[in-house]
A and B are shown apart, each in its own frame.
Chain A
């Protein structure tokens, strides 16, 4: 997708995403104005709602942790030339793995149960991504379509399991019983309290460290290993990869397994970190946000980290906004998210060409 016009690195990774974001925010501001509220006041409320207090920051970082996992999942697949829309389903099934460990071994020691939960989440997520990957690699089935279908199948499967199998007996709402105390990821509040520091209570938990480690791991893997090189070559050009002795089908399957595993880790943050039980539809669209995060972060872990915090702030700030502005609610955040995808992904050339002209960028050979 980067063919066409080349920009200097700082503009490619810094300026262009910023211009895209500003365009999306301006358009959203226009719509808020249309609704009859002040866009400037809305922006101030959102920033205050996302960063104005310790617990607000905690919520922002909690959401951001989700988006790092799903953003990385999209990015890894993207580098292999695949568009994985199935993050939502992979996160959902990954959460099933986390939840099963939490339900079965919740009585065990946390130092054993939490890592087991992480492993199960990654394993279940990877397993759910395996089939679309395998079908793409071996049968040529379009991965976009199969991952969308897999999302719906995951949703139906989880509804079935929660309504019929995992539901806490004697209860109406479809959710599992609470995990045992061993299956709880310590919150930042508790962890800092042990060190004698105080931080407001919020769902912000140590899964964030796992997310940071995932960023580092993806960066090392994709840019500093042989396999990562093969991944990027196969993503750029399958014939070139074959010529270089790389097997594109194996890369496709490997990339999807890793992508699914990353998405599956969302369950660690949501279930072991916050809910402590399996809930219906707990990913809540985070898999889709991952697409926006990856596009905005230019599929690089550092960019994804920044974009995830931005979207975390939008989510947290957006829910605060709805308290103060009766005519604006969280739907506005979904709108901004869609506009970011539109400007960063689909219409990126609109700003790329003028920027290149201004900056004197060179035309890439056609």
Chain B
């Protein structure tokens, strides 16, 4: 029974860790499918985490925080599109620039505004955070642990953003494969010239995709600072943007496989904390650092073509110029 309980708790932790990954990876899915490399997931999330925590701390409303987070990440997404689509700048360089600017700007503004050494104040007001919602009968269900435990821990008890992220995946699959917009989006990432010839604006599509990515990164960042923890701290994304990018590649730029990759990486992450110093049968003690590095190792192996094959959208990273 203890094992069963541990397993369910581990899965519940997996869901919580996976949420920002799913949001960010799907954000990257939109922009990369439209042909814009999205290395700036990290920076957009971090900016949103700061903006959401700061606004929530000042106004006392997590919802206003969410709005601020989305606004901050979207502004950066538009800046990125301005540099890469309008000015045809190098997408990788632009994204690195944004990541670094945010890594400096967030703590700098936090220090100036709140005087807490680069953090925002602890969010402990009643409406300052997105808290877990208990579904009806969750407590009562615990009397029958076999089914009740999964219901209470896995289905119930998460905050709104978690459920939103869960709904995002099928919604994105539908948008991408069943709508005209999705068809055009995928086309512009494969062959922008064809899209342009059909009289559809490549620039507009890429801006739209960037903006969607910004909004989703905004939600992901808000989750980090107002749901998963209670405030902004320096470098709180800690590479999650890059991990989401790895998940996107691992998921071969498709919604459901990307979700699976996010869950796998999150499971490894949630498990790493529990496996510390525990000897497993057959393999013995696995170093925590190995489990932390595992997603990156797997992604490299996949990119190398040793584990299946992952092919990027053809036009990803190539600025489109009508003149050529």
Which one, A9-17, A266-274, A335-343, is touching chain B? A335-343
Q: B202: CB under 8 A from chain A?
A: no
CB within 8 Å for A332 and B104 given contacts A36-B112, A152-B242, A153-B293 = yes
Contact B111 A346 (CB under 8 A): no
Contact of B112 among A152, A295, A327, A337 (CB under 8 A): A327
Chain B residues closer than 8 Å to A334, beta-carbon distance: 100, 103-104
Q: B88: CB under 8 A from chain A?
A: yes
How many chain B residues sit at the interface, stated as a range, is 35 or more
**Closest Cβ of chain B: how far from A366's Cβ, in Å?**
6
Contact A342 B304 (CB under 8 A): no
Closest B residue by C-beta to A341: B97
Contact with A along B56-95 (1 / 0, CB 8 A): 0000000000000000000000000001100111101110
Chain A residues closer than 8 Å to B300, beta-carbon distance: 131, 135, 141, 146, 149-150, 153
Chain A residues closer than 8 Å to B144, beta-carbon distance: none
Contact A35 B112 (CB under 8 A): yes
CB proximity to A under 8 Å, residues B87-121: 87-90, 92-94, 96-109, 111-112, 115, 118
Q: How far is the CA of A350 from the CA of B93 in the complex (A)?
A: 15
Q: How far is the CA of A144 from the CA of B292 in the complex (A)?
A: 20
Contact B289 A159 (CB under 8 A): yes
Contact with A along B305-324 (1 / 0, CB 8 A): 10000001000000000011
CB within 8 Å for A157 and B289 given contacts A142-B312, A342-B97 = yes
Q: How far is the CA of A338 from the CA of B108 in the complex (A)?
A: 13
Chain A residues closer than 8 Å to B3, beta-carbon distance: none
Q: B287: CB under 8 A from chain A?
A: yes
Q: B25: CB under 8 A from chain A?
A: no
CB proximity to A under 8 Å, residues B179-205: none
Contact B108 A347 (CB under 8 A): no
Closest A residue by C-beta to B101: A338
Contact A345 B89 (CB under 8 A): yes
Q: B34: CB under 8 A from chain A?
A: no
Contact B108 A332 (CB under 8 A): yes
CB within 8 Å for A335 and B101 given contacts A164-B287, A342-B83, A347-B87 = yes
Contact of A338 among B37, B99, B292 (CB under 8 A): B99
Q: How far is the CA of A148 from the CA of B111 in the complex (A)?
A: 29
Central interface residue in A131, A160, A291, A338, by most chain B CB within 10 Å:
A338
Q: B18: CB under 8 A from chain A?
A: no
Closest B residue by C-beta to A158: B289
Closest A residue by C-beta to B79: A342
Q: A331: CB under 8 A from chain B?
A: yes
Contact B323 A160 (CB under 8 A): no
Q: B249: CB under 8 A from chain A?
A: yes
Chain B residues closer than 8 Å to A338, beta-carbon distance: 97-105
Q: A328: CB under 8 A from chain B?
A: yes
Chain A residues closer than 8 Å to B212, beta-carbon distance: none
CB within 8 Å for A331 and B108 given contacts A139-B304, A295-B93, A348-B89 = yes
Q: How far is the CA of A331 from the CA of B234 in the complex (A)?
A: 10
CB proximity to B under 8 Å, residues A156-178: 156-157, 159-160, 163-164
Contact with B along A102-124 (1 / 0, CB 8 A): 00000000000000000000000
CB proximity to B under 8 Å, residues A269-327: 288, 291-292, 295, 326-327
7 CB-based A-B contacts, threshold 8 Å: A141-B300, A326-B115, A331-B104, A338-B98, A341-B97, A342-B94, A346-B84
Nearest first, the 5 A-B pairs at minimum CB distance are A334-B104, A335-B104, A338-B101, A346-B94, A338-B100
Which positions in B face A, CB cutoff 8 Å? 37, 39, 83-84, 87-90, 92-94, 96-109, 111-112, 115, 118, 234, 239, 242, 245-246, 249, 287, 289-290, 292-293, 296-297, 299-300, 303-305, 312, 323-324
